[in-house]
Each structure stands twice: as structure tokens, then as C-alpha cells.
Amino acid sequence: MKPELNIEPDTPKPEINVMVDVTLRKAIEQGWQQIAPFWPLENLIAVNPLQGFEHKPIEDAWAEADHVFRNPHLPTEMQAVNRETIKWCQAFLDEGQATVPMPDRHLGFYHAWVGLAPFDRRLNVRAAGMKSWLANLPETPEAAIRKGLEYLRIQSKDRARFLGLLLTTMPGWAGYVKYRTDWAAKGRHAYPITQTDYLAVRIVITCAMWPDAHTLLSLFPREIPADTRRDAQQALDSMAIREAEYRSQLLGQLSRQSVPTQPSSPKAQLVFCIDVRSEPFRRALESTGAYQTLGFAGFFGVPVRVHNQSTGEVYDSCPVLLSPQYDVQDRPRGSDVTLQKDQAGYRWQSQFKRLYQSLKYTFSAPFALVEAMGWVNGLWMAAKTWVPAWAGRLRRRVSGALRPGVLIETCTDNIHEDDQAQVAENALRMMGLTRDFAPLVVLCGHGSTTHNNAYATALDCGACGGRHGGSNARVLANLLNRSDVRARLKANGIAIPKTTRFLAAEHNTTTDAVEVFSAEDDEAIAALKRDLETARDMNTAVRLQHLDAGHAPTVSAKRAWLRSQDWAQVRPEWGLARNAAFVVGPRALTRDLDLGGRCFLHSYEPSQDPDGQFLTTILTAPMVVAQWINCQYLFSTFDNAAYGGGSKITKNITGKIGIVQGNGSDLMTGLPLQSVYAADGQPFHEPQRLLTVVYAPRDRVDAIIKAQPVLQTLFGNGWVTLANVDPDTHTSYVLSRSLRWQPAS
Amino acid sequence: MEGMPMGGLLTSWFHFDSLAVLMISVVGFLGVCVLGFASRYMAGDRLRTKSLLTLGAMLLSVMAMVSADNIWILLASWMFANLFLVRVMIHNSKWQAAKAAGQLAAVTLGFGALCLAVAFLLMSQHTGLVSIQALNASDASGSQMTMALGVLLLGALTQSAIFPFHTWLLSSLNSPTPVSAIMHAGLVNGGGILLARFAPLYLEVSSLLFVIFALGFLTAVLGTLWKLMQHDVKRMLACSTMGQMGFMMVQCGLGLFPAAIAHLIWHGVFKAYLFLASGGTAQEKRFDLEYPPRLRTVVLAVVCGVVGSFVFAVASGKVWLAPDTTSVLVLVAGIAAAQVALTVLRKRPFMMLPVGLGVTSALAAMYGLSVQAVAMWLAPMNLMQPQPLHTLHIVAMAILLLAWLAMVLRRAPATGGRSQVWRRHAYVRALNASQPDPKTVTSYRPHYPRS
């Protein structure tokens, strides 16, 4: 059958392909600048929803974002355009929900959609000429945008602004597209999409449904209304008061601490992630004995791609600002027989799931499936609801029968010898651990355990790209236990005693259990494990005061565990809520302080970094990540509809990538209401901008700021406040917006 | 207390027969589960207590509805149950889309209630009776009675989201998750229960049975097809419910009311679980089923399917290959058994054949028994009345079989050029048909309430 539509890719229109419209490309680019990327549920990464405005002073950025993202009015015609865009985005960007997917996705978003649009009756195809207009869309998305702009009579001076409005009136889906184009592994996806594709589809739908869409330009005028500016300023002013209070309190505390130069000799050193949830746990552990703890980005300086040998799963485990450098393998410890057993167990698990899915996702058979399996689901539903602890144990026992929980080890053979020592050395130097090694050094990553939780990965390690950090910890521990690596380190001035052992561990932030990945279990390790258990009891008792008050502290560990197993639990843990400051300095600076789980703690020894190289890294990488997190919590609390995820109660997972509300909506980026509010109208997170405190000579900090435009932007535009505690005098200073130091009051 | 007038009223208004007792138990079980879930899931929500109370009131109304003997009590409890449903569906009235979804449900279900009222009026006028037991024992002949049953059927169709009354259900997902769970497990089944309540009358009017069968079958096919196309988990579940409700109606239309009741119970429990568990969808890994399988695998799977259908027939007390409407259920069991076998035999079909036969027989027996348990409980009501096979039934069976085969044997999507025009056309038609009502979509983010 000969298609009557002239949309086949093999009928090129050369005159358009050759023409390169530079100004149009620029306009498209400018439009996209306002959009912050959105990482999918698989690895939710915290992002500042105002990322596209960070180059502006926060007052302007805030007002402008209010203007474009929070304007309560949108004409019904444009709402219809949004609705149809949502429909096609859901269809194209689906990562495995639909059994019968949208056809022709391999052609890319624009081209696949062009083949379907003429049949879409919701696009006004009944209007005169619309069907043939849709059937004769240009060959390239860029040409479609040009055609659309002409059709809508958008003047060239307004092009960038108009295209920007097409994006900002539905920022969530655009954000996911931006993730796909700028952050996800480029060129690897079977169903490609580009920013131009998305805009082309969007503008064509707009042409079809709202020919007067140029009205948008006057509804969102270039000039930000005065009352919007005033509201933004007010929000910032009231926040600034709280920030100043917090700042003077924290700086006062910090400058009163004495930092001994002679280190103690601890029985173990434990390195935790900088995550704010580490701080109270570290404090609890330190109180149980002679432990020294450090803070370091939870990927431990090893950007890896993890291959799970049992399940075949592959993922990047490193900050999203980096790309993985090494391939490592996770496998059960032991011989190949152990591995094969585990693989067989996984195959059995898969086989059961496959059987279930084959009955569910087909024709005719589901009618029988529900009748045959209904009673099983019913019993399981009752168990999970009324005896969740029992259900959790049963689940573990069943999966344990198929795949006995064995110790996982990470194979680092793929890392080149030279790199092994280099990676290890960098990590040690940056965390300031180059001498006085304790007999045990534990590298402790972290992850969370929650059940029936779409936002599960938002609670995992951001430094590991939204994954559990155990593998990275194992990699570094592995390297540091190698004699050849130690020999090279020694040659470079880091002498690790023969008696020192490096261990990997993982802190479960939901339950505060710490799993130590060690085959040995001598007295030293056993003692450590006991103290970790004590710390768990202490920390869960404190944490549960804000989650599940009214129980004896003795049952707090159990109740925290119960939250991790409960399928009806919307607040399994508080994540990074209430985060407020990023402290760069030795642990002695904060050791005697109760920082209330509000601080990212990054270890730093100023004496070991004379040229400021490590401080530069700390300020431009982990601190930037902390700022993304801080802004995500801030804006999700400030306006949970525009910048957050909305209520978990009505959430709906689309395409396995993200959340829409109810029947369908913009892709809800940001944190859900329950992650930042204790109850409706009662925010738990205190919205305030990140305060970074650096314990280092001020001229060193100055030099770094001068050399790093990103820091000038963040400090100068008021996104982050920088403070300094001078190591010699212990006086503290605050960097003003004009980048001048002022004594802290 | 026996002589008290209250007691007399209770027995004249309500009748606790085996169907009522069964449904009260099921509704009670689901209610206890869903309320337990909701009480934790809605922690911190300012409407939590109100929602839980409304849900409780709704459950009590449903219990009254399934045990009512007086038609006016039935109507009243039906209306109250739906009223409470609409209230709890909307949840946050500041959310325009949720309100619109509630209004759509209210209009559809209100029309259904009106149908019930009209039907009951006609019935009581014609017979002078208000007791369902008495009505069922009365003479159903006469055009007024047929008309009454037809109008009553309309009410049942709206409640169970049968085509063309399905849109309210597909647009109902602005509701809190537990509300969706109880709605898909409870109130949509109202249509089936209503038909079962008046089954003796419907069994007298074979033309209406055909209408029920045809609309049910159409809904089953559309719902299943749309379910396979959905991109978000909740709408997928809603389309699936629509399909399952269609199948329940098919069972009613076949004269197999106890089978329909078994279906609505087991489906309800199944679907309630899936809604409550929908937060874990992103972590659910979809497995490649490696379709299309080799021909010999398909042939051997069909052999297992035939054996499975036999085991099912025996376990559920049916005659295998009987020339009546039970053969539709036996066919569905056979298809499911073949599907199971297909997965089991996937890699090494001949070697795995004994395992395949064993697994399919075991599952088919389990399936047959779970259906038979309900049928035996309801046996005293004598509602299992297989009808002679009609061409319509045979066509439907052929469609069920072919649609399943088409799913199994379809080729992987093309990776070269564009797919055929008819395919694209059909896709867009089905995609649009399965969209919720436009007003119920939150098309602009700031229109979602802030908290």
C-alpha cells in the first residue's frame, strides 16, 4: 500500500538540509538554557530547579523563575497543547511500561511523531487544511520550528523568548529531555531524542491547537511584574534572617573549637560520605570508643562503572559531573562455583517473574491469572499491611532460599596498575589521611532501603550517581590493601603500616545498620561491629524523634527497620532534609559539636594542601553537588507544586522514568511533599541557602575563587554563602556578595 | 429480642444469603487491608481522618447494598456508596482536575442510579413487589419487565465501566492510591453483583444475556488492548480493570453467574494489591520474553494448554469440551496454561516438557479450585446455568485465541523504515480512545495544589 502522505524519510528536501539558520539555533539554545535537567527514578539526582538562572543574582533569578514557572494563569488553549504534548512524551519516552509501544521510535522523536500526527484527531485534524498541513511537515525538526514560528507569526526578536515559553510552561518533561540530551550516555539510546526534536513537536502541536499562541508573549511579558519581584524579594528577605541566625550560631561554635595538631591514636578510622546523614552517625560512633571519622565524597574518588556478574546489571557509580573511568565487577566472594550458584539463583528468580509477566502482559491469559492468583495476592496484601515486619522477614527468607546472601566483592583487575596507585593516593591526600593510620581503616559508603517507594534512589548516594556506595568503597579498600599499591604509595611519601587493614562497609541510612564487607571476623572487627550496633541504637533513637516519637529508645532500631520494610510508609527516613551547611575542615573542628544532621562534612587538612589543589576540587565538585541538593530541598519546600513532586498520595509512575500526578501532568521533578513536610502546612525542611565554611588560610581561598568562575557565580550571585575560619586565629569571616571578606559578627 | 419490630424490619429489608455473606466478607477483608494501608500512607495529610471515615462509610454502604432485599434499600445504599466514593475520590477539592474527575464520576454513576430507580419503579409497578427474593421468584415475562431489566442493565454497565460508560474509570486516577485500590476492587464490581442479584430474571431473557455478553466482550477486548498500550502504571491498571470487568460481564452473559462472582472477587483482591504496590513499578524490571518462540515450542505449549484446560475443567467441576458456554472459560484456562508452558519450555522445549506439563497442571488445578470454591459456596442459589453455544460465543472464542496468538507470534518492531499506515493509524486511534477526559488532566503545573 502506498502511503498517501509525503512524510517518508527517503524524500529529502535538500534546500532545507543545506541551509543553516544560525540565529534560529541560537534561539533554540537560549530557550533551553532556562531548563534544569531531570534524572529518572532509576537514579534521582538532586538538581536546582533554577539551574538555568544561576548565572544571575538570586533576586533576579528567583523573580524570573516565579514569573515563568509559577504564573497561575495559562489559557485553556495552551493547556490543551500541554495535554497533547504530555501524551506524546509519555508514549515516546517510555522505558518499559507499555507492552505495545509507540511505533517507529527508532526514527527519533520528531520523525516517529511526524508519521503519527496526521492521524491524531485531538490535533484539530478536522479543521480546514490541518490534516494536510500535518501530513506535510518539513523533513527536519529545525525546519519545522521555523515553519511553526512563521505560522504563529512570531517576530524574529521574540523567537528565543517564545521558544523558551514553550519549554517553561511545562518544565518537567523538558527537563527530562534535557537529561537525555545533555547527561544520559549520548548516542547510546535506541530511541533518540534531541532538544530540537522536542521543540519541533511542541511547536507543531501549538500550531495545530492554538494558532494565536503568540498571545503567550504578552501573558508572560519580558518585563517581570513589580509584584512578582516584590514577592521574590520578600521570600529571600525572610530566608536571609534565618540564615544569618544560623550562620552566627554555627560560626560562633566553630571558632570556639580547638584543633589539636597532635593526632590521637584511634583503634579505627572510618571514612563516611559527606552526606548530612553521616554527621549524627559519626558522632554516635565516636562516643562509643576511640574512633576517628572522616568525611569524603561517597564514591571515594573512584569513578567506576559497576558490572554485576550475577544479574548482568551495569551502572555508573560516580558523581554525574564525572564520567566513569574504570569497569569493575561485583560478584559473590569465593570460587566460580559460588558465582554460578548465585547466577542460577538469579535465573530462578527471573524465571518466576517472567512467568508472571508473560501471563499479565498479553491477551486473554490475564483473565485467568487474576482468578488463579487472587487469593495469593490477597494474603500477601494483608500480611504486608498488618504484619509488615513478618512480611519483610518472609520476603528475605524466600529470596535468601534462592540466593543465599553471600559477601560481595568487587574485582578491580580492569584498573591499570599505574592508575591504581594514583587513584588511591589522590583519595588519601584529599581526605587528609596520609599518616597515623589506625590498624583498621573502614571506607563506609551508604545507601537506603525502602519498600514500594518510587523515590527510593533520592535517598541513595548522590556522589555515586544515585546508587548505593558499597562497590566504590570496596574498590578503594581493595586497592589500598594491595602490596604493589602500598609500595608505590610509600615511594610517594605515604607509608601505610603493614598492620593496617582497609575494609569496605555500607551505612544504611534508613536503618542505620552498617554492613562491613569482610570475610575475616577477628576480635578487632567484632569489636567494631559491636560499636557500630551501639551507634545504630543511639542514632535511630535521635532520628525517630522526628519520625515516630513516643517509643522507648530501646526499640528505635527495630522501628527504624520496620519503616524500611513497610509498603505503606511515605516517610521511611528524612533523607537530607534540613541540610544547611557544608563544612570543609578537620574533624577536630566539629567533633565536639552537635550539628543536628544539618551539615555536609568534608575532611580537609590545610597543612597538606599548600597549593590549594584539593580545596579547589572540594569547592568545585562536592560543594557544587551539595548546592544542587540544598536548592532542591529549598525549592521543593518553597513551592511543592512548581518545583517539587507533589503528594505521594496521588503519584503515578510514568514510563518507569518519573512521576506524574493522577491522570497525567507535567513530569513532577523535585522532591515529593512528604520528603520535606512533616504534615500538610508543616515544613520539616527549613529552606535556607547553603552556608559553606572553609577552614583554611583566607588567601588560599581567595586565590581559588579568583581562578574559578563557577565559584564567583555561586558566591557572587548569592546562591551559596562562603565563610572562613582562619586556622591560626580562629576568627571567622563571611564573603560578601561583592566577594569581599567581612568579619563575622 | 425476636419479636421486636426492628428485627422484623431487618429481615424484610435485608437477606443474608450466601452471596451476601460472601460479599460482606470480601468487602470487609479488603476494607481492613486498604484502611490499614491508608492510615499510614496518608499520614500528615490534612484530610486523612475525613478520608478514612468516608471510606469506612462507603464500605458499610456497600455491605448494605450486597445484602439488601428491599429494592429501595438497595437503591439507597447504592447511591450512598457512590456518593461517598465521589467524595473520597476528589480528596483535595483545591485540585481542579480531581474535582473534574469526581464530577465526571458523579454524572456517570448518577445516571446509573437513575437507571436503577427507573427499573425498580417499573418492576414494583408491574409486580407489586419490593423484595428481591420475591421478584426473582415471580414471572419475568412481559415487555415491561424486560424493559425494567434492560434499564437495570444500563445501571450495571455504568457502575462496572463497561463500554461506552468506561471514561469515568479511566479518568479516576487523581484519587489517592488507596481509594483507587478500593474502587477497583469494590465499587466497580457493583454491576456484576447487581446482575447476579437478579440473575434468575436475566436467565429468563436470553436476548439480554446476549447484550451483556456482547458489550462485556467488546469491553474485555478494548480494555486489554488499551492496557497493553499504557505508559503510566495507574492508567494501565485502570484499563486492565476495564477489561476484567468486561470479562466478568461475559461470564454473566454466559449464564455463569457464580463464575462472574468468583472473577470479581479474585480480580478485586488482585487489583487492590497492584494499586497499593504501584509505588514499586519503577523497580520492576520487565523481562524480554523472546517472542516469537520457535514453532515447536508453540506446538508443545498448546499441548500443555489442552492438558491444562482439562485439569481446570475437572478441578472446577465442569465437563471438558461440553457444547455449552462453560467452554469459553475452559478455553481461557487453556490459553493461560499454554502461556505458562510457553515460558517454562522457552529454552529447551522437549526436555522441559514433563516440567511444563507438571507446572501447567498444578496451576490449572489451583485455578480450577479457586473458582470452584466460590461456585460451591454459591451453589444453593443455583445461579450456574450454562447456555447452549451460539455463533456469537464461538466467534468470541476465536477472537480470544487469535488475539493471544497474535501477541505471542508478533514480530519485533521494525528497526528500518516506518511501520505500515494502518498500524500507525490504529495505534493513534487506540491511544486517543484510552486517554482520560481532558478536564481531568493536570495540564499546567501551577494548577496542582501546593499542599
Q: Could you report the per-residue pLDDT of B295-352, keeping only the tens digit for each?
A: 899 999 999 999 999 999 999 998 898 899 999 999 999 999 999 999 999 888 899 9
Q: How confident is the model at residue A3 (pLDDT cuts 50, 70, 90)?
A: very low
pLDDT, tens only, B111-130: 999 999 999 999 999 999 99
Q: How confident is the model at residue A18 (pLDDT cuts 50, 70, 90)?
A: very low
Among A381, A451, A569, which would you mutate to test the B interface (most chain B Cβ atoms within 10 Å of its Cβ)?
A: A381
Cα separation, A361 vs B185, in Å, equals 20
> A411 pLDDT exceeds 80?
yes
Q: What's the confidence (pLDDT) of residue A460?
A: 95
C-alpha cell at B217: 466482550
- Interacting residues of A325 by C-beta distance below 8 A, sequence separation 6+: A303, A304, A419
C-alpha cell at A105: 521510535
C-alpha cell at A483: 602490596
Q: What is the mean pLDDT of residues A385-394?
A: 95
**Strand-pair partners of A658:** A654
Q: How confident is the model at residue B437 (pLDDT cuts 50, 70, 90)?
A: very high
**Strand-pair partners of A295:** A272
Q: What is the mean pLDDT of residues B238-251?
A: 96
Name the residue among A249, A301, A268, A230 with its Cα closest to residue A618. A301
Q: Closest residue of B to A569, CA-based? A: B41
Q: What is the mean pLDDT of residues A19-39?
A: 90
Q: What's the confidence (pLDDT) of residue B68?
A: 95
Instruction: Give this prediction's pTM.
Output: 0.94
Please report residues of A whose CB lies closer than 8 A to that of B287.
350, 353-354, 357
Q: From edge to edge, which strands make up the β-sheet containing A732-735?
A: A599-602, A581-584, A690-695, A720-725, A732-735, A741-743
Question: Higher model confidence: residue A311 or residue A125?
Answer: A311
Q: Closest approach of chain B CAs to the CA of A266, in angstroms?
A: 41
CB contact under 8 A, A121 and B432: yes
Q: What's the confidence (pLDDT) of residue B2?
A: 42
Q: What's the confidence (pLDDT) of residue A11?
A: 43
Instruction: Evaluate whether ipTM surpasses 0.85.
Output: yes
Q: What is the mean pLDDT of residues A514-540?
A: 94
Q: Closest approach of chain A CAs to the CA of B387, in angstroms?
A: 20
From the list A96, A374, A382, which residue is nearest B370 (CB)?
A: A374
Cα separation, A604 vs A602, in Å, equals 6
In chain A, domain spans? 14-33+72-219, 266-333+407-620, 336-402
Q: What's the confidence (pLDDT) of residue A14?
A: 44
pLDDT, tens only, A87-140: 999 999 999 999 999 999 999 999 999 999 999 999 977 777 888 899 999 999
Average model confidence (pLDDT) across chain B: 93
Q: What is the mean pLDDT of residues A463-469?
A: 93
* Residue B435 near chain A (CB below 8 Å): yes
Q: What is the mean pLDDT of residues A188-214?
A: 94
CB contact under 8 A, B446 and A649: no
Burial (CB count <10 Å: 0-12, 13-18, 19+), residue A128: exposed
Q: How many CB atoms lie within 10 A of CB B188?
A: 27
Distances (CA, A) of A292 to A264, A269, A283, B275: 9, 5, 10, 47
Give pairs for A356-359: CB < 8 Å, separation 24+.
A357/B286, A357/B287, A357/B289, A358/B289, A358/B339, A358/B340, A358/B342, A358/B343, A359/B336, A359/B339, A359/B340
> A15 pLDDT exceeds 50?
no
Please report residues of A whose CB lies closer than 8 A to that of B176.
649-650
Q: How confident is the model at residue B140 (pLDDT cuts 50, 70, 90)?
A: confident
Q: What's the confidence (pLDDT) of residue A677?
A: 96
